[in-house]
Structure 1
Amino acid sequence: MFRSLLPRLLGDDPPETTLSHDDAEVAIAALMVRIARADNHYGKDERTHIDALLARRRSLSAADAADRRAAAEMIEAEAPDTVRFTRAIKDRIALEERAEIIGALWEIALADGTRSADEDAMIRLVASLLGVSDVESAQQRQQVAGAASGR
């Protein structure tokens, strides 16, 4: 089902072509995987956290969230450089959703309780490419950090 996502994202379709709901979510999940892999440590805890985040975002069952993450891992592995991949997503995801996406990426990056310079740099790049300002990204990070400390 998601095998054709990359060709549709990066192919000849006009950028104003919107993604289906499921395709958009898998593309966003692929960004989550890319952030989680940015520090070269992508383990069970990060996969579990991505599954939980995907389930929470769209009310998925645990099995459906794990399937979506597995599809996202394959897409992320095949996706070209982050710049091209993220720009393709930006062209097809509504502006209102982009800050929320950055918040989800911060949640993944901060899941292990530490901030990695590699993850920070990747989120800064993705935020910029998605048209999310540094201020909005910082607000999202602070929200995520505040929610995590309140648990």
Structure 2
Amino acid sequence: MPVLERLTKLFKAHPAPLPPKPLPEADVPHALGALLVRIALSDNHYAVQEISQIDRILSRFQGIGPIDAAKLRAECERLEAFAPDTPDFAYLLCESVPYDTRLEMVSALWEVVFADGALQQAEDDMMVLTQDHLGIRTEDCDAAREAAKLANSLSS
């Protein structure tokens, strides 16, 4: 049997990949943290302000202190590298988390985007992609963006 036929037969023999499983509730904090890290890294600049903001968000979402939030963020930084691409990642969160919580996540993501005082095109593009796959209505996304922008300008 020619090599090309064997290779073709080999590829056809593998079953189709299984659909992704929804994240268990215990993984939602890590998923959120990894997505926050991914947004912060999207402009290829991981600013101290963004890291601090991620810690505050994780502390707020999980009801934990600053040290535990920093530890969780460190775990999320490692996980982010192995997480699925952003649309799949956001879709998993969409399937695992109620709408109100996902909307809070979008607000938190915008807080990270504005934490360093500058909105980069790469961050904006990543947010559009993420919000869409999280299943958040456009008007809710716009309101979350404006609230985060205003909060950042008041704290600067």
Structure 1 equivalent of residue 153 of structure 2: 149
d(CA) in 2 for partners of 1:111 and 1:13? 32
Structure 2 equivalent of residue 52 of structure 1: 56
Structure 2 gap segments, 5+ residues each: 1-17
Query: Number of residue pairs matched?
Result: 139
Measured against aligned partners, the alpha-carbon deviations of 1:58-97 in whole angstroms (never above 9, x if no partner) come to 3211111011111111111111211111111211111221
Moved more, 101-110 or 137-146: 137-146
Structure 2 equivalent of residue 104 of structure 1: 108
Larger CA Rg, structure 1 vs 2? 2
Task: Tell me how far 1:25 sits from its aligned partner.
Answer: 1.2
Provide TM-score, normalisation by structure 1.
0.83
Structure 2 equivalent of residue 37 of structure 1: 41
d(CA) in 1 for partners of 2:76 and 2:32? 8
Structure 1's 13 and 83: CA in aligned 2 closer, same or farther, altered over 3 A?
closer
Task: Tell me how far 1:13 sits from its aligned partner.
Answer: 7.1
Match of 1:19 among 17, 24, 28: 24
Task: Tell me how far 1:44 sits from its aligned partner.
Answer: 3.0
Structure 2 equivalent of residue 74 of structure 1: 78
Structure 1 gap segments, 5+ residues each: 1-10
Query: Percent identity between the aligned chains?
Result: 36
Structure 1 equivalent of residue 66 of structure 2: 62
Q: Could you say what the CA RMSD is over the residues aligned between the two structures, in angstroms? A: 2.0
Measured against aligned partners, the alpha-carbon deviations of 1:82-131 in whole angstroms (never above 9, x if no partner) come to 11111112111112211111000000000011111110110110100010
SS at match of 1:100: helix
